Amino acid sequence: MTRIEEKLTILADAAKYDVSCSSSGSNRKNTGGIGNASRSGICHTYTEDGRCVSLLKILLTNHCIYDCAFCVSRRSNDVKRAAFTVEEVVELTMNFYRRNYIEGLFLSSGIFKNADFTMERLLRIVKKLRTEERYNGYIHLKTIPGASEVLIKEAGLYADRMSINLELPTEAGLKLVAPEKDHVSVRTPLALINNHIRAYKAESSLIKHVPDFVPAGQSTQIVIGATPETDLEVMQVANEFYQEYQLKRVYYSGYVPVNDGNKALPAIGTAPPLIRENRLYQADWLLRFYDFRLDEILNPHHAQLDLDIDPKLSWALRNLHCFPVDINRADLKIIIRIPGIGKQSALKIVQARKFGKLHEYQLQKIGIAWNRAKHFVVCADSPFIPGYPAAAAIRNDILKNSYSKYKTSLQGNQLSLF
C-alpha cells in the first residue's frame, strides 16, 4: 500500500460518518476550464450500505484538539492519524473528476492547532482548485466553528455548499458527550453565511454580475439515537433551523457507535436506528414539500413517530374526519395529503381528471400505492359505503397486506409487551 493510499483509507474512513452527500442545488457553469455543477446532482456509485457516493468525501486531517465522545477522531482515541497536503487533495480530486468517478469534493477536517489555522488550510485547497486548476465542479466545504469571518467569507466565494454539523439536537445532550462545544458556535457562522447569501442575492437584482456565494446553500446534520431526545425535540430543532437559517437540508444520522467508555452513549455493536432515521426523513419531507405543519405530525401528545407506518399515514389515521377524499374534486393541496399518493402522482391526477372522471383502474396505473390510498379515496366507480371503518382496522389491514422492508428488523429489535 502506498503512503497516499493509506492516507486516503484513513481519512475517508474518518469522514464517512458525515451523511451529507448531495451534489445538487448549484448551477455553476464551466468557464473555460473543467467541470460544472449539475442542478439535480449525480450519484456516481453506491456503497453496500445503500448510500450514494457522489463526492470525494475526505478529511484534511483526523488530528483533533477536541474530545467529543461520539466522534471516531476524538483526541483520546487510539487510531492511526494522517494528514493530506494541499497538493495531494487537489491532485486526487482532479484525477478522480477527470475519470468521471465523482461529482466533486467534500472537504472536512479535524481541528488542529486552532480553528483559523484549519480553516485557512481548507481555503487554500478550494482556492487552488478554482483558480489554478480552473475546476468548476461541485465543492462542499465544512465551516470550522470559531474561524474568523474573513476566512469564512472568502471560502464562500469558492464553495458551492457549506455546512456545520449541530450533531446533538439539544444543548443538554451536547454537554453530556462534548463538554467543550456548544450550539452558539454553530449558530453564529450559519447566520453569518446566511446573511451573506441574502446580501448577494439582493445585490443581483441591481448588479448584473454578482459572484456566486455558496450557491447551493447550507446544510447541517443531527445525530439520532446517541442521546435520549424525542422525535418531537429533534424535529423542533430541525424546523427552527430551516426557518432561521434557510437551510437547504437537515441530515439525520442514525448514531453508529464507534467508541466504548462513555456511559451516556450506546455501546459498540448496538445497531444504528435505521427505521427511526427513515421516519424522520419522511417527516422532514412532509414539512418541506407537502405543506404539513410540525404540530400536525408531532406534538406533545404524540412525541415519537410511529415506527411501523409512515408519518403521513399516521397523521391520516389520527384525522379520519378529513377522509375519504374525492380525487375527482379535491384540491391538489388535499390530494397530496392522502397516504400513498406522492407529489408527482397528485399532479398527474389533477391534470388527468380534466379529461373525464378517474376510475380506480386508472388511478392504480398512474403509480400510487393503492394498498394505502384505497382506504382514503373515492373515485368515479367507488361503491358507496355507509360509515367508515375504525382507524385501528385500517391500520391492521394495511400492515397485513404490505411488505415492509423493515419487518424482520422490527420484530428483532423490539420486545413485545404482552
CB of 278 to other proteins, least distance (A): 11
Q: Does 9 bind other proteins (CB under 8 A)?
A: yes
Cβ-based neighbours of 21, under 8 Å, separated by 6 or more: 43, 51, 52, 53, 54, 55, 57, 106
Q: Does 343 bind other proteins (CB under 8 A)?
A: no
Other beta carbons within 10 angstroms of residue 100's beta carbon come to 9
| Contact pick of 34, 199, 202, 303 for other proteins (by CB under 8 A) | 34
Q: Does 378 bind other proteins (CB under 8 A)?
A: no
The SS3 of residue 218 is strand
Number of residues this chain uses to bind other proteins (CB under 8 A): 61
| Contact pick of 243, 355, 392, 416 for other proteins (by CB under 8 A) | 355
Q: Does 42 bind other proteins (CB under 8 A)?
A: yes
Instruction: Please answer whether residues 63 and 81 qualify as being in contact, where contact means their C-beta atoms are separated by less than 8 angstroms.
Output: yes
Sequence-separated contacts (24+) of 5-8 with Cβ below 8 Å: 6/82, 7/82, 7/83, 7/84, 7/88, 8/58, 8/92
Q: State how beta strands 138-142 and 218-224 pair.
A: unpaired
Other beta carbons within 10 angstroms of residue 349's beta carbon come to 24
Q: Cα(first)–Cα(last) distance of the chain, in Å?
A: 55
CB of 375 to other proteins, least distance (A): 22
| Contact pick of 348, 382, 391, 404 for other proteins (by CB under 8 A) | 348
Q: Does 408 bind other proteins (CB under 8 A)?
A: no
Residue placing its CB nearer to other proteins in the complex, 272 or 342: 272
Helix axes 311-318, 274-289, angle to 10 degrees: 70
Q: Does 321 bind other proteins (CB under 8 A)?
A: no
Residue placing its CB nearer to other proteins in the complex, 16 or 302: 16
Find the binding residues for other proteins in span 74-113 (CB under 8 A).
92, 95-96, 98-101
Cα(239)–Cα(229) distance, rounded to whole angstroms? 15
Residue placing its CB nearer to other proteins in the complex, 57 or 121: 57
Q: How many degrees, rounded to 5, is the angle at CA 15 between CA 12 and CA 17?
A: 125
Q: Does 46 bind other proteins (CB under 8 A)?
A: yes
Q: 149 in the Ramachandran plot: left (φ > 0), alpha (ψ -120 to 50) or beta?
A: alpha
Find the binding residues for other proteins in span 131-160 (CB under 8 A).
134
Using the contact rule CB under 8 A, the part of the chain among 46-54, 207-215, 284-292, 328-336 near other proteins is 46-54
CB of 256 to other proteins, least distance (A): 6
Helix axes 231-245, 184-204, angle to 10 degrees: 40
| Contact pick of 20, 24, 33, 197 for other proteins (by CB under 8 A) | 33
Instruction: Please answer whether residues 214 and 156 qualify as being in contact, where contact means their C-beta atoms are separated by less than 8 angstroms.
Output: yes
Q: Does 194 bind other proteins (CB under 8 A)?
A: no
Binding site for other proteins (CB under 8 A): 1-2, 4-5, 8-10, 12-13, 15-17, 29-30, 32-36, 38, 40, 42-53, 56-57, 92, 95-96, 98-101, 134, 254, 256, 271-272, 274, 348-349, 351-356, 358, 362, 365-366, 405
